[in-house]
A and B are shown apart, each in its own frame.
Chain A
Amino acid sequence: MELLDRVAAQEQAALKLLYDQTASRLYGIALRILGNKEWAEDVLQDSFLGIWRNAGTYRGSLSPPLAWMGMLVRSRALDFLRRRRAERLHLNVPIEDVEELLQDKEAQNPMQWVEASEQAIVLHQCLQQLEQPQRQVVSLAYLRDLSHSELASNLKLPLGTVKTWMRRSLEQLRKCMARHV
């Protein structure tokens, strides 16, 4: 995508185009990690300012543009959570609301797979074979960088349940994804 090069050259119109093309996807990631619309908006805003100021550094990375931006959003969202925890502001995240919000959209979006990488399609297919709660546990473990006990307290589930789900889900995903190599 030469859009990032044009953004690196401080072309404001290019940033707008990039935003139009990717904001929904990046907002989806932030929302999933943070579970709060307002926070996700803050992180999205912060990420785009970061892209505007540091688009030049993208050239040095090996990832495709969308993956690079996705990593940037994830790391900023995690920083945001860490800061809130440090300030003892971290509260029980209303995950159910987000789930509902995301579920509404899920059905309407067959087009999201058109540009997806092969890796993403494989992961998506393998995740579909899990039950919804298991899928959520694995996704959150990765996206929010949570340990078993953090997951348990976040999702208000017994630690034993989280551990069992995690072990089984991981086994299933591992085998499913090995088939696609």
Chain B
Amino acid sequence: MRLTQNPELLDRLAAAYALGTLRGGARRRFEQHAREHAQVRAAALLWQGRWSAFSEVQTPVPPDPAVWVRINNLIEADKANAATSRQREASATKRLKHGLAWWRSAALIGGLATVVAVSVGLWSHRGLKDASQQQLAALQTQLQTAHAALQATPQIQYVAVLASGKADASVLVTFDPRLHRLTLQRIGDYQEAPDRSLQLWALPSQGAPRSLGVLGSGKLEKLTAQEAEVQAVPVLAISLEPKGGVPSETGPTGPVLFKGALIHRDL
């Protein structure tokens, strides 16, 4: 069959194909031609577009008002289910946090071991009555240095993974109460629009959300916070706000994009 040289026949077959009435062997042969010739594919697409208007030319009929009531009820049920599964997700991220906590503890125990070693050394030197004052002074300096180094090592005592309800993106939040430092690390590729800012909120179990600060646009952001602001806060959240954020008193004005439980690690 010289379909491509017979425009009239091609048009007729394409119309029947797109309408759905071309069946069986004739349909398979048409599809074979379509695979081989762009002209045949184009004709089929043209007719698919034309026939698709069938759904537009149907007479509108108002449905029974009860239909909307049912849809609305089902959506409410949907939202309730989504809330439950978010809780389940939160407990999954908790397991992740335990893993993280283990690494942090390991690092800290390493640090403590150094202190113990230095202290033991110091004690034994003290035991030697004939040790010179200079030696002692040198050791004390050493201890101070070790102590300062330990002070400088971040002590992460609070951890939260703020997960987004939709995308894979999340934000890892850690808080070092001694350095008064909140560190936020973006995971995944969420990026707010240039005229927007992300704002971190503490959601206390009672009372209104309190702003903990506005994030810059970088992958790693640091904010300053006192331990009192973070202590006993069960949940942290990040909302999308106008550039520069909103005052703490007004509370979040934009949608909450990330949210998660704040875990206080017991060392």
Contacts and interface: CB of A to CB of B under 8 A. Distances in A.
Task: Determine the main DSSP class of B at the interface with A.
Answer: helix
- Most A CB contacts (10 A, CB to CB) among B16, B53, B66, B255 go to B53
B75 A139 contact: no
Interface string A27-40: 11101100001001
B61 A102 contact: yes
27 contacts: A15-B75, A23-B68, A24-B63, A25-B58, A25-B60, A29-B55, A32-B58, A37-B64, A49-B71, A49-B74, A67-B56, A101-B61, A105-B59, A109-B60, A119-B53, A122-B53, A123-B50, A123-B54, A124-B53, A138-B19, A139-B54, A141-B20, A141-B21, A170-B15, A170-B21, A174-B11, A177-B50
Interface stretch (A68-76, A85-93, A153-161): A68-76
Given A15-B75, A28-B60, A123-B56, 7 more contacts: A19-B68, A66-B56, A109-B60, A117-B56, A123-B51, A123-B57, A147-B20
Contacts of A19: 68, 71
A62 B216 CA distance: 36
A51 B68 CA distance: 13
A44 to B, nearest CB: 6
Contact of B53 (A24, A106, A117): A117
A74 B51 CA distance: 13
B67 A23 contact: yes
B2 interface: no
A112 B75 contact: no
A52 B75 contact: yes
B60 A71 contact: no
Give the interface size bracket for A toward B.
35 or more
A27 B71 contact: no
A106 B68 contact: no
A55 interface: no
B12 interface: yes
Nearest to A12: B75
Contacts of B71: 15, 19, 45, 48-49, 52
Interface of A: 9, 12, 15-16, 19, 23-25, 27-29, 31-32, 37, 40-41, 44-45, 48-49, 52-53, 63, 66-67, 70-71, 73-74, 101-102, 105-106, 109, 112, 116-117, 119-120, 122-124, 127, 138-139, 141-143, 145-148, 166, 170-171, 173-174, 177-178
Interface string B1-38: 00000000001100110011101000000000000000
B266 interface: no
A170 B52 contact: no
Given A105-B59, A116-B56, A119-B49, A148 B11 contact: no
Given A28-B61, A148-B21, A119 B55 contact: no
